[in-house]
Amino acid sequence: MPLIEARGLEKSFGGVRALAGVDLTIQAGEVHAVCGENGAGKSTLNRILCGALMADAGVVLLDGESVAWRGVREAEVAGVVIVHQEPTTFPDLDAVDNIGLMRETSRLGGFWLCRAFMLDEARRLLAELGERFDPTEPLGRLSPAQRQMVSIARATSRECKLLILDEPTSSLSAPESEALFRVVDRLRSRGVAILYVSHRLEEVARLADQVTVLRDGFTVWSRPIAEASREAIVHAMVGREVLTPEPGSSSAGEVVLEVRNLRRNGAYRDISFDVRAREIVGLAGLVGAGRSELARSLFGIDLPDSGTVSLDHEPIDLRHPNPAIGLVPEDRQHEGLHLSLPIRDNATMAVLRRLSTAGWVRSRDVAAESAQLIARLAVKTRDDRNPVNSLSGGNQQKVLIGKWLATQPRVLILDEPTRGVDVGSKAEIHRLVRHIADDGVAVVLISSELPEILALSDRVLVMRQGRLAGELTGPGLSQEAVMALALPVDASSKEDDLPSRRTLPREVFVAAFLALLLLVVGIVNPSFLSVANARDILVKVAPLAIVACGMTWVILAREIDVSVGSTMGLSAAVLGLAASTDRWGLPPPIAALLALGAAAGVGLLNGFLVAKARISSIIVTLGTMTLVQGITEVAMGGRWIENIPSSLRTLGTGGMLGVPWAIVAALSVILASAWLVGRTAFGRRIVAIGSNPDAAASLGVPCDRIRIVIFALTGLLAGVATLFSATQLQVIESGFGRGMELMAIAAVVVGGTSIRGGRGSIGGTAVGVLLLGMLGTALIFLRLGPSAVYWERAVQGLVILAAVLADALGRRRSG
């Protein structure tokens, strides 16, 4: 009986048929390759098999039983796991958490993670894959290959019956791919079935037991590899013969590009070479050898540290892109194209200046230019005003190349021009590149596919660990010769060759600055360091600390909440109205509960709107901020609230063993938050969402529920902060809490938490709160005169800017 069998799978998206009847049978312990051009239905098939999509018709049988998974999680539990083309990892989490996410080993129902156990498990799994790097390093610092290995370790950490590998080698270099192949062999011998999707037919030949070819949503045929020759597979995929590109016939011209002793620390060094007109120079090497970094520098995006580049014997300024040098970047979706903009705008994006008069765009010329490019490159589209993401991958790539052809460059750098492009378009692009060179352009071709480099290049430069390892031409040019140069001489020397800096965490800097401030103010005025003053300052910053903890979770999850200040205002109004003897006069505990409930309610509303209505959190909380502020004003009817019972006011003024309640509460919240973020499954999931929201969702992290919970908790904390701060006052005004949201965000950011989510800590936030909160008092104690108090906000602003500046400069230094 086959392990998994799919029969007659059909799937349509809004009238477009992606699958029109696919059959697939996979045996246990078999590597089953699936080949097909882009759009043949491979990814739809994958997504159905791994539970991410439901088929419209047809059945999937696992061990002979019909299954219908309603999500990736259910498929994983049943033993079907997918590793996506782009490793879906979390750059801010370490390998331990990446492997263990959503299957954490924990006690107390997820509230106590067993880190030591998970660490051992991660080490063991990685060792099985032949990897020995430190699993506590954040994944963002690892190489793409190591990240891929972490994904595979994750996939094999549970009992896995079918492993789906979707283009697993697209970001791997040759030896890394070889390591992956060994892993595949080992898994096969353990009886795991592997569904292997790849455009690289050499890999299919090397690995597969069985090959299935898809075309236009149908299964063309499925055969054992022995009966499936390369030509047969290609023929079945495209339904026609594919031409192999002819190597260049014309002779190279004048030297156009001269690179001399170019160096960028941490990326490449000692780079010198020439490129002539009508010449294609291949740039080969492993991923991470510095090829793309060199391309970015030549294009004028990353400034080299030393060296010169000349164009037609004139040195050029590398601080800005030079109009005569074009770059087709490797990441088409993120760096190459503006996916949602029209094809026309994309094609003319780099030449708008030429198509304009004194800054005014000549629309007719733009249309003409676009039409001309589309015709020249044979881009298949009906209307060039459609967005470019309506095109297939191959046609998108043609538009991207056309965008640079339009600039009539002297030098064109192509970085992985056929990545993720189907076989048919690949051949067209190869011909196109040859034509571009024949038209007199000096072409630099970067590719990780050796056959592509060999077929197209007149000369091949090989990079190894940031240096040029050698040049190959004519008869000496072979795959073996390139690999011999590209492979590291000594793997251990890599560290000192390309130093990567590790910077101290920001908390340390902020804490040092705080200590310095304490010292300076303490010397000027020793009473600043007295216990009584410390107590006053801590009581003053306690509410901010409580609110900022909530804000830290929100920002860690890549969201923001600007409504906390208004929420505090509402909470204070409810507290005052409920408790005040001349208003409702309810018992203080009930008043406190109502105040907390109102605050949590606002948070819950935020959470629902963000998670369920999918409105960005800044808009949602901007709306609720204004709304809640209005409700507060209406509820208070333009009057202050007085006569708050003294039993309630002890929350703000009383204490335990001489420590005010506010400080006790703030410390408890800080400790609880730190534990929540670092030590619970929930906290790790928050970071995962902030680090990579799409990947988190695809792994079955309950993102919506988590977002709702953190917004609700943040609202609740705003209520808690209110309980300990509004009760310090004699009267409650409607403006209570205003501005708190921005102070809280500022404290979180000063404490080193990234506004882009995923990275940060509660400890940093606590330090940030202390620093921002004590500036005002410090100004007064510095005895600068009576007007010093007016400068508090300016100093706060400057501290925030200094933190931002330090961050930016630190980022720049470490590249």
Partner 1 sequence: MKAREWTLAALLALLMLYAWRADPSFVSLRAQALLSTHIWELAIVAIPMLLIVIAAGIDLSVGSMFALCAVVLGLLHERGVPIGWAAIAAMAAGALQGAINGWFVARLKVHPLLVTLGTMAAYRGIAEGISTARPLSGYPEGFLALSHENLLGVPIPGWVFLCLAMFAALVLGRTVFGKWTIALGTNESATRFSAIPVARVQWLLFAGCGLACGIAAVLTVARTNTAKADMGMGLPLEAVTAVVLGGAKIEGGSGSVIGLVLGLALIHETREFVSWHWKLNELNLIVLGALLIVSVLIQRVFESRNRVASRPA
Site for partner 1 in 362-401 (CB under 8 A): 389-390
Phi, psi (rounded to 5 degrees) for 617: -65, -30
Residue 316 contacts partner 1 per CB under 8 A: no
Distance, CA of 48 to chain centre: 25
Least distance from C-beta 605 to partner 1, angstroms? 9
Residue 725 contacts partner 1 per CB under 8 A: no
Identify which range of 152-160, 530-538, 669-677, 740-748 contacts partner 1 by CB under 8 A: 740-748
User: If binding means CB under 8 A, how many residues of this protein chain bind partner 1?
Assistant: 85
Residue 613 contacts partner 1 per CB under 8 A: yes
Nearer to partner 1, 566 or 727 (CB): 566
Least distance from C-beta 471 to partner 1, angstroms? 28
Nearer to partner 1, 68 or 805 (CB): 805
> Of 116, 361, 512, 671, which one interacts with partner 1 (CB under 8 A)?
361
Residue 114 contacts partner 1 per CB under 8 A: no
Phi-psi region of 259 (alpha: psi -120 to 50; beta: other; left: phi over 0): beta
Residue 190 contacts partner 1 per CB under 8 A: no
Least distance from C-beta 745 to partner 1, angstroms? 6
Give the C-alpha separation, 490 to 398, whole Å: 40
Indicate the DSSP class of residue 336.
I
Phi, psi (rounded to 5 degrees) for 89: -115, 175
Residue 638 contacts partner 1 per CB under 8 A: yes
Give the C-alpha separation, 803 to 760, whole Å: 14
Residue 755 contacts partner 1 per CB under 8 A: yes
Q: What ranges in 129-216 are assigned the alpha helix state H?
A: 144-157, 174-189, 201-207
> Of 403, 419, 426, 459, which one interacts with partner 1 (CB under 8 A)?
403
Element spanning 797, H or E: helix 792-813
Q: What ranges in 190-278 are assigned the alpha helix state H?
A: 201-207, 230-238
Residue 337 contacts partner 1 per CB under 8 A: yes
- According to DSSP, the residues that pair with 490 across neighbouring strands are none
Nearer to partner 1, 345 or 536 (CB): 345
Indicate the DSSP class of residue 245.
P
Least distance from C-beta 80 to partner 1, angstroms? 23
Identify which range of 58-66, 244-252, 473-481, 620-628 contacts partner 1 by CB under 8 A: 620-628
Residue 707 contacts partner 1 per CB under 8 A: no
Instruction: State the amino acid at position 782 in one-letter form.
Output: L
Residue 730 contacts partner 1 per CB under 8 A: no
Give the C-alpha separation, 427 to 412, whole Å: 19
Residue 17 contacts partner 1 per CB under 8 A: yes
Q: Are 569 and 737 in contact (CB under 8 A)?
A: yes
Q: Pick the closest to residue 210 from 382, 32, 397, 417 (CA basis).
A: 32
Q: Among residue numbers 780 through 799, which ones bind partner 1 (CB under 8 A)?
A: 787, 790-798
- Count Cα atoms within 13 angstroms, Cβ side, for 528: 21
Q: Judge residue 514's burial from the number of C-beta atoms within 10 Å of its C-beta, 0-12 exposed, 13-18 middle, 19 or more buried.
A: middle
Least distance from C-beta 181 to partner 1, angstroms? 31
Give me 782's structure tokens.
């510095």
Nearer to partner 1, 227 or 694 (CB): 694
Nearer to partner 1, 603 or 683 (CB): 603
Nearer to partner 1, 182 or 793 (CB): 793
> Of 312, 335, 365, 438, which one interacts with partner 1 (CB under 8 A)?
335
How many CB atoms neighbour CB 364 within 10 A? 9
Give the C-alpha separation, 468 to 486, whole Å: 9
Least distance from C-beta 704 to partner 1, angstroms? 15
Residue 513 contacts partner 1 per CB under 8 A: no
Give the C-alpha separation, 58 to 22, whole Å: 9
Q: Are 23 and 218 in contact (CB under 8 A)?
A: no
Residue 21 contacts partner 1 per CB under 8 A: no
- Count Cα atoms within 13 angstroms, Cβ side, for 572: 32
Nearer to partner 1, 43 or 173 (CB): 43
> Of 808, 813, 814, 815, which one interacts with partner 1 (CB under 8 A)?
808
Give the C-alpha separation, 155 to 265, whole Å: 36
- Give the x/- contact pattern for partner 1 in 25-64, rule: CB under 8 A: --------------x----x--------------------
> Of 300, 652, 752, 768, which one interacts with partner 1 (CB under 8 A)?
300
Phi-psi region of 240 (alpha: psi -120 to 50; beta: other; left: phi over 0): beta
SS3 728: helix
Nearer to partner 1, 8 or 321 (CB): 321
> Of 196, 299, 528, 724, which one interacts with partner 1 (CB under 8 A)?
299
> Of 251, 340, 492, 500, which one interacts with partner 1 (CB under 8 A)?
340
Residue 609 contacts partner 1 per CB under 8 A: yes
Nearer to partner 1, 337 or 712 (CB): 337
Helices and strands counted in the chain (H then E): 29, 26
Nearer to partner 1, 683 or 690 (CB): 690
Give the C-alpha separation, 364 to 362, whole Å: 6
Residue 475 contacts partner 1 per CB under 8 A: no
Identify which range of 461-469, 521-529, 668-676, 749-757 contacts partner 1 by CB under 8 A: 749-757
Residue 359 contacts partner 1 per CB under 8 A: yes
Q: Among residue numbers 675 through 704, which ones bind partner 1 (CB under 8 A)?
A: none
Residue 240 contacts partner 1 per CB under 8 A: no
Give the C-alpha separation, 678 to 684, whole Å: 7
Nearer to partner 1, 623 or 655 (CB): 623
Indicate the DSSP class of residue 330.
S
